[in-house]
Amino acid sequence: MEDVRLTPKETLSIFEEVESQLEKLLQKRREEIERELNEKIRLEREEAEKKIKQEQDEAGVKIGQIEEEFSRGRQILGDYRSVITEYENERLHLQNEIREHFDKAMHCQTEIERLASLTLEELRVVSDLNQKLENLHQTTEERANLMRKDLEERFGIVAQVPESPEVEEIKVDLNHELLRLKKIKELLEAQGLMFEEEKSNAQPAASPAAPRAAEKSDQPAPLNVPEIDELIESSLTAEAPAAEEPRAAVAEDNFRLLFEKLENYRRVSSEGNNGEICYFQNETRFVLDGEGIITGMSETLDETKKLFLKLTQADSPKEVFFIKQDIINHQETLRKFILRVVKLCEREGFLLPRFTQDILNVQILKDILERLSIENWSNEADFTSFSVYAESLKDEYYAKITPPVVYLKSVIEELGIS
């Protein structure tokens, strides 16, 4: 192989070329490193920005939730204050109404006692005059008998003295008024007990700002009618016509026999906690116990009235809420009860008593059902309106079936009981 010798100039040129290539490689590598570094920095910056944005979004959501919670808290606090304010206003209003009506009732009771006392005096005068009339009648009859006997013995003339029924009529009227007076006395005594109970129940709920009003109506006035019983008993014992006793006994026996006869056909339908429906069944004939429907409705209203009285004594909004819930439950229970009665009449052939159709019929039950479905008893005005209507219906119903003998006979005939 031929040995090639390079000149120093050529050798230098080669070194420069190699150096130039190395420089290019280094420059290229440097650029690649810088490019990779810049790309890495860009990626890390983007990642950091994403992370920062995500954290900012999360922080914004948390801040929004906190603000929403605070907003809800402020709203609840406002509602709470409104409930307390409304409760206090309503409580004071009801307590004032209770005191006002209690004072009126006490005034009425005093007036009734005064009138009862006057009535007692007048009836005592009537009793005395009635006794004088009795004595006059007896004296005149004795004298007439002597004269009639004298006429018959001397001249053979038989004289007939016409009977005078006015005396007996006056006795009957007097007894009737005495019985009415006795009922007034019993009513006064019952009212006195009721006022005592209501006052003892309402006393803890009285407003501290009104002690004088409470002291003013401290105790019901005592009943000043102790002589009524004495006059009634003496009058009825001495003056009551003897013929009335067997007539009353016969009426009582008829009622008892009819009642016991009808009771043999009494049935009961119950469904959950919605009350029992009583009816009478003879083979395929079904007649509902109208009195049971009226009584069931009345009992529900009485229980609800107790809840409204309890509502005036409630100490906290929570207690008010639960009492009102119980009131609404009573309304729903009565609605379901009336609905069952209507369904029995329309779908299963049950009848309401024919004797009381003008007072209690399916259409009236539907009207009651509509009111129970639309009105809200937690609103006392709605309850009071319904209660007044129901009381009026109850009074009309019992006025219709009194005396009960005629009503019982009608139901027995309607059932076809022999």
Write out the DSSP string of 353-404. Answer: -GGGTTTS-HHHHHHHHHHHHH--TTSHHHHHHHHHHHHHHHHHHHHHT-SH
pLDDT for the residue 190: 56
The tokens describing 130, both together, are: 């009635």
The boundaries of the domain holding residue 311 are 243-418
pLDDT greater at residue 167 or residue 313: 313
Q: Is residue 244 scored above 50 in pLDDT?
A: no
For the chain, what percent of residues have pLDDT higher than 70? 70
**Residue whose C-alpha is closest to residue 407's, from 360, 363, 343:** 360
Tell whether 390 is covered by a domain: yes
For the chain, what percent of residues have pLDDT higher than 90? 30
Segment holding 287, helix H or strand E? strand 285-288
Q: What is the DSSP letter of 204?
A: G
| Amino acid at residue number 399 | A
Residue 51: pLDDT band (50, 70, 90) is confident
Q: Please, how many CA atoms are within 13 Å of residue 373, restricted to the half-sphere of its CB?
A: 10
pLDDT for the residue 334: 94
Contacts (Cβ under 8 Å, ≥6 apart) of 280: 262, 265, 266, 267, 286, 287, 288, 289, 411, 415
Across 71-80, 218-227, 319-328, which has the greatest mean pLDDT?
Answer: 319-328
| Domains contained in the chain, number | 1
pLDDT for the residue 156: 63
Q: Name residue 276's beta-bridge partners.
A: 270
Q: How far apart are CA 105 and CA 113, in angstroms?
A: 12
Rounded mean pLDDT, 283-291? 93
Tell whether 3 is covered by a domain: no
| CB of 308 closer than 8 Å to CB of 383 | yes
Q: What is the DSSP letter of 240?
A: S
Q: How far apart are CA 144 and CA 142, in angstroms?
A: 5
Q: Is residue 264 scored above 80 in pLDDT?
A: yes
Q: At what angle do helices 228-239 and 166-202 cross, to 10 degrees?
A: 150
Tell whether 36 is covered by a domain: no
pLDDT for the residue 222: 43
pLDDT for the residue 341: 94
Contacts (Cβ under 8 Å, ≥6 apart) of 124: 231
Phi and psi at residue 275, in whole multiples of 5°? 90, 160
Rounded mean pLDDT, 100-112? 75
Strand, coil or helix: 349: coil
Residue 6: pLDDT band (50, 70, 90) is low
Tell whether 268 is covered by a domain: yes
Does this model's pTM top 0.95? My answer is no
Tell whether 24 is covered by a domain: no
pLDDT greater at residue 173 or residue 328: 328
Rounded mean pLDDT, 319-342? 93
User: What are the C-alpha distances in Å from 172 to residues 149, 153, 241, 310, 311?
Assistant: 32, 38, 8, 47, 49
Q: Is residue 350 scored above 50 in pLDDT?
A: yes
**Residue whose C-alpha is closest to residue 259's, from 394, 398, 417:** 417
Residue 144: pLDDT band (50, 70, 90) is confident
Q: How far apart are CA 95 and CA 313, in angstroms?
A: 9
The tokens describing 154, both together, are: 């001397």
Residue 232: Cβ within 10 Å count: 18
Tell whether 359 is covered by a domain: yes
Tell whether 363 is covered by a domain: yes
Token pair 């709605």: residue = 382
Tell whether 338 is covered by a domain: yes
pLDDT tens digits, one per residue of 372-412: 999 999 899 999 999 999 999 999 999 999 888 899 999 99
Q: Is residue 136 scored above 60 in pLDDT?
A: yes
Rounded mean pLDDT, 141-157? 68
Exposure class string for 86-123: b at 16+ Cβ within 10 A, else e: ebeeebeebbeebbeebeebbeebeebbeebeebbeeb
| Amino acid at residue number 102 | F
pLDDT for the residue 217: 41
Q: Is residue 261 scored above 80 in pLDDT?
A: yes
Diameter of the chain measured on Cα atoms: 213
Between 187-191, 334-338, 361-365, 370-374, the lowest mean confidence (pLDDT) is in: 187-191
Token pair 């016509």: residue = 241
Q: How far apart are CA 64 and CA 75, in angstroms?
A: 16
Mean residue pLDDT across the chain: 77
pLDDT for the residue 178: 60
The tokens describing 131, both together, are: 């006794």
Say if strands 266-270 and 285-288 run parallel, antiparallel, or are unpaired. Answer: unpaired
| 266-270, strands of its sheet edge to edge | 266-270, 276-282, 285-288
pLDDT greater at residue 378 or residue 103: 378
Across 91-105, 122-136, 222-236, which has the greatest mean pLDDT?
Answer: 91-105
